[in-house]
């Protein structure tokens, strides 16, 4: 059904290779998240798959057929845009019906499919409104509705939640995940937010400067990052990196330890330091500790651990959870 394969895909703008060369397999029904910092080529990659940009080289195979030269509409994909890109002068109903109308479907079939999509997305009461009369979350749902009526091979999401406020974003994240469970259609989702990537994905593709750094399940990336970039990008707060003599002691160029894998104590431990800032979240506290001779370390401790600015604390890394990297930044296992 909705498997997508990229073979040697590259994209060059002028003299600048945005995507040097990428090979990637996306299986049917998978929820794949492209994640990376801004400018890493993740949106370009999505647009290449959508057909909104031409590939400079390589092939895109959708559902076993070479789709490299196909126009966007013929690829059987639908896309949800960052700005939603709803048609402002059309009602919600007309917006959702638009792809079906373009496909020349029967009026009765269109009405039924639109009603179905509206029911799934809780939009039934808003069908006759214009997009500007809707809230951000509702617009988002209309955009998704417009995407699902076509029953595409795969959905493409281009940072769909970045225009929503924090609370709504968490909600919509859940709704999109539920939609995926319900439809079992392939979804490709682009985001710069590693939390979205971790919570929604079956498979995360970490991109940096147009290259794939690592592909794997969220927990895979969390526990076994291939390199410094992935180790630093996945997980919040960021992993602490320590180089120099401390790392040499572990036969590595750099060692990394996640904030949650540092054990804190007030009287004994491996490293000693002064608490700079303590961020109390209630359940947890993030401590920014100025460790002597190492630098700033971030530690995540239980909310009960009572410290404030200026306290002396001891930190001990969990040796099982220590990540080691060589001088090229690759993981040593």
Q: Map tokens 């390199």 to a residue.
A: 227
Exposure string for 5-22, b = 16+ CB within 10 A, e = fewer: bbbebbbeeeeeebbbbb
Contact by Cβ (8 Å): 205, 191: no
Task: Point out which span in 76-84, 208-216, 250-258, 324-332 binds another protein (CB under 8 A).
Answer: 76-84
- What is the total residue count of the chain? 333
Q: Does 85 sit near another protein (CB under 8 A)?
A: yes
The nearer residue to another protein, 99 or 218, going by C-beta atoms, is 99
Q: Does 26 sit near another protein (CB under 8 A)?
A: no
Q: How far is the CB of 262 from another protein (least distance, A)?
A: 44
Q: Which residue among 8, 83, 133, 265 contacts another protein (CB under 8 A)?
A: 83
Q: Does 112 sit near another protein (CB under 8 A)?
A: no
Q: Does 81 sit near another protein (CB under 8 A)?
A: yes
Task: Point out which span in 66-74, 112-120, 266-274, 277-285 binds another protein (CB under 8 A).
Answer: 66-74
Q: Does 42 sit near another protein (CB under 8 A)?
A: no
Nearest CA-CA partner of 284 in 268, 307, 267, 266: 307
Q: Residue 267 and residue 311: Cα distance in Å, rounded?
A: 11
Contact by Cβ (8 Å): 194, 34: no
Q: Which residue among 12, 39, 69, 103 contacts another protein (CB under 8 A)?
A: 103
Nearest CA-CA partner of 89 in 77, 80, 98: 98
Contacts with another protein: how many residues (CB under 8 A)? 23
Sheet strand arrangement including 186-191: 77-80, 154-158, 186-191, 31-35, 203-208, 211-216
Task: Point out which span in 8-16, 75-83, 118-126, 244-252 binds another protein (CB under 8 A).
Answer: 75-83
Q: Which residue among 50, 55, 257, 313 contacts another protein (CB under 8 A)?
A: 50
Q: How far is the CB of 74 from another protein (least distance, A)?
A: 8
Q: How far is the CB of 154 from another protein (least distance, A)?
A: 12
Q: Which residue among 29, 72, 237, 276 contacts another protein (CB under 8 A)?
A: 72
Q: Residue 241 and residue 258: Cα distance in Å, rounded?
A: 9
Q: Does 71 sit near another protein (CB under 8 A)?
A: yes
Contact by Cβ (8 Å): 89, 131: no
Nearest CA-CA partner of 48 in 8, 9, 81: 9
Q: Does 1 sit near another protein (CB under 8 A)?
A: no
Backbone angles phi, psi at 147, to 5 degrees: -75, -35
Residues that bind another protein in the complex, under the rule CB under 8 A? 50, 52, 71-73, 77-79, 81-83, 85-90, 98-99, 102-103, 146, 150
């Amino acid at each position: 059904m909705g498997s997508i394969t990229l073979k040697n895909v590259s994209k060059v703008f002028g003299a600048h290779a945005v995507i040097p060369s990428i090979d990637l397999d996306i299986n049917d029904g998978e929820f794949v998240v492209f994640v990376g910092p801004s400018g890493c080529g993740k949106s370009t990659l999505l647009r290449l798959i959508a057909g909104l940009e031409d590939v400079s080289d390589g092939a895109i195979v959708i559902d076993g057929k070479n789709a490299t030269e196909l126009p966007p509409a013929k690829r059987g994909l639908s896309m949800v845009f960052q700005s939603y890109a709803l048609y402002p002068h059309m009602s919600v109903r007309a917006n959702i019906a638009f792809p079906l109308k373009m496909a020349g479907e029967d009026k009765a079939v269109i009405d039924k499919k639109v009603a179905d999509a509206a029911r799934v997305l809780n939009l039934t009461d808003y069908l006759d409104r214009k997009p500007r009369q809707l809230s951000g979350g509702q617009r988002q749902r209309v955009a998704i509705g417009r995407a699902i009526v076509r029953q595409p091979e795969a959905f493409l999401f281009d940072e769909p939640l970045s225009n929503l406020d924090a609370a709504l974003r968490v909600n919509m994240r859940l709704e999109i995940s539920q939609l995926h469970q319900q439809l079992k259609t392939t979804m490709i989702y682009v985001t710069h937010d590693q939390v979205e990537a971790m919570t929604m994905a079956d498979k995360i593709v970490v991109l940096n400067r147009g290259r794939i750094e690592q592909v794997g399940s969220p927990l895979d990336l969390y526990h076994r990052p291939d390199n410094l970039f992935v180790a630093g990008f996945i997980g919040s707060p960021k992993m602490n990196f320590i180089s120099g003599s401390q790392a040499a002691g572990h036969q590595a160029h750099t060692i990394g330890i996640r904030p949650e894998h540092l054990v804190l104590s007030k009287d004994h431990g491996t490293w000693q330091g002064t608490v700079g800032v303590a961020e109390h979240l209630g359940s947890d506290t993030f401590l920014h500790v100025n460790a002597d001779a190492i630098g700033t370390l971030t530690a995540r401790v239980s909310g009960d651990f009572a410290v404030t600015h200026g306290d002396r604390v001891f930190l001990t890394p969990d040796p099982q959870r220590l990540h080691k990297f060589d001088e090229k930044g690759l993981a040593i296992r």
